[in-house]
């Protein structure tokens, strides 16, 4: 039996529950970045030499520079992320290197964050929490419409034959829109059903024109999450912008979706609309969104991602907007989800090196 060991570089310690997946394998020789900080690029380029596998994070750029440093021994790159914008797919494909990633396990956590952001943005939590944090609550006396924002759940005023309904009466129906309609979007929609949402519109490909919706697929989803038949359907971008009361941006990043939410899109939205982005910062033009909020083209925004993150300082235009709630990319930040991601990342690199089936491989021939 061969006693050859395969070198594996780990760009972050994966924790006591997951590291044994790697340390218990006698076939592997591990080189681990020893700090709980982003892996130093110089360290990575020096230590990747002769490696058969590498486990990277979103902050680790996998490009020709890194692959040249690794040499011909590299068999697999495993990223602890569902996104892979930091990885040059063409470079891996050209060198016949496999790529593992961590989809699915993030679905519930990100869907939870999406709904949380919709509630926080719509109900003005940034403005109102600031009042409490600064000790200024006593200076803001209650008034009939103070601190109000658009309600996520559906409601209607009682009907009285003796009094006409106000012209701006609360709508009974809420239309939620999705730019991208994959697993996370559908899980988000399912969470909104108990709020009374009964109408969903979506666009699956932001760079394309409208295509006929597959009614059987949409109706099957509606039935599964207890919505009426015909309540889910595909529209083009213009209709998505015009009709959405809350718009969830849940599409992948990359050149095809860069700044798909731009000034023209935002100008088409309702003044009471709320924009939620828990996916990729590059999908939204930050300057255009800041302008839309400042000039009140839309009501509010809730973001878990911002273009250029983490370099988002206190003077960033979106940070300055009182109706823009921003979280520091914590969509997957639950103990359960991060454990699942780390586990898949470790299993993927082991399988890729030893020639076994990787639990979640991104098949590069399809890209």
Residues 71 and 50: beta-carbon distance below 8 Å:
yes
Secondary structure of residue 180 in the 3-state scheme: coil
DSSP notation for 23-79? HT-TTEEEEE--SSSPPPHHHHHHHTTT-SEEEE-TTS-BSHHHHHHH-TT--EEEE
Tokens describing residue 25: 């394998």
* Both structure tokens of 1: 């039996």
Given the residues 130, 140, 316, 329, the one annotated as active site: 329
Peptide bond into 269 cis (omega under 30): no
DSSP string, 302-354: EES--TTTT---TT-TTTT-TTEEE--S-TT-SHHHHHHHHHHHHHHHHHHHH
Cα–Cα distance measured from residue 171 to residue 157, given in angstroms and rounded to the nearest whole number: 9
Active site residue 86: no
If you write DSSP's letter for every residue of 114-147 in order, what string do you get? HHHHHHHHHTTHHHHHHHHHTT-GGGS---TTTT
Assess contact for 249 and 279: CB atoms under 8 A: yes
**Residue appearing with tokens 């999705």:** 178
Cα dihedral sign, 57-60-61-63: negative
> Residue 316 and residue 314: Cα distance in Å, rounded?
6
Residue 136's CB is within 10 A of a number of other CB atoms, namely 10
CB 50 within 8 A of CB 29: no
Catalytic residues: 329
């Amino acid at each position: 039996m061969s006693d050859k060991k395969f070198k594996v570089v780990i760009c972050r310690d994966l924790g006591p529950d997951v590291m044994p997946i790697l340390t218990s394998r006698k076939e592997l020789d591990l080189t681990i970045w020893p700090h709980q900080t982003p892996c130093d690029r110089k360290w990575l380029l020096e230590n990747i030499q002769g490696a058969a596998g590498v486990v990277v994070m979103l902050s680790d750029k996998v490009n020709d520079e890194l692959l040249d440093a690794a040499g011909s021994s590299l068999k697999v790159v495993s990223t602890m992320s569902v996104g892979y914008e930091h990885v040059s797919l063409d470079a891996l494909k050209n060198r016949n290197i496999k790529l593992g990633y961590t989809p699915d396990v993030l679905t519930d956590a990100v869907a939870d964050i999406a709904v949380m952001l919709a509630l926080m943005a719509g109900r003005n939590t940034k403005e109102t929490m600031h009042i409490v944090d600064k000790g200024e609550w006593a200076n803001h006396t209650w008034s009939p419409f103070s601190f109000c924002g658009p309600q996520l759940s559906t409601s209607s005023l009682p009907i009285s034959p003796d009094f006409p309904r106000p012209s701006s009466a609360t709508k009974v129906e809420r239309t939620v829109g999705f730019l991208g309609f994959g697993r996370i979007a559908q899980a988000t929609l399912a969470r909104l059903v108990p709020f009374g949402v009964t109408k969903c519109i979506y666009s699956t490909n932001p760079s394309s024109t409208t295509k006929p919706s597959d009614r059987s697929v949409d109706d099957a989803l509606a039935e599964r999450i207890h919505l009426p038949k015909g309540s889910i359907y595909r529209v083009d971008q213009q209709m998505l912008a015009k009709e959405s009361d809350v718009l969830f941006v849940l599409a992948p990043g990359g050149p095809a979706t860069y700044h798909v939410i731009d000034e023209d899109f935002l100008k088409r939205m309702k003044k009471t609309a709320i924009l939620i982005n828990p996916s990729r910062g590059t999908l939204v033009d930050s300057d255009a969104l800041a302008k839309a909020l400042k000039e009140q083209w839309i009501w509010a925004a809730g973001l878990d991602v911002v273009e250029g993150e983490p370099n988002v300082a206190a003077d960033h235009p979106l940070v300055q907007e009182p109706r823009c709630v921003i979280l520091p990319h914590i969509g997957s930040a639950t103990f359960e989800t991060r454990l699942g991601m780390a586990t898949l990342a470790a299993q993927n690199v082991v399988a890729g090196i030893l020639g076994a089936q990787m639990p979640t491989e991104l098949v590069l021939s399809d890209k």
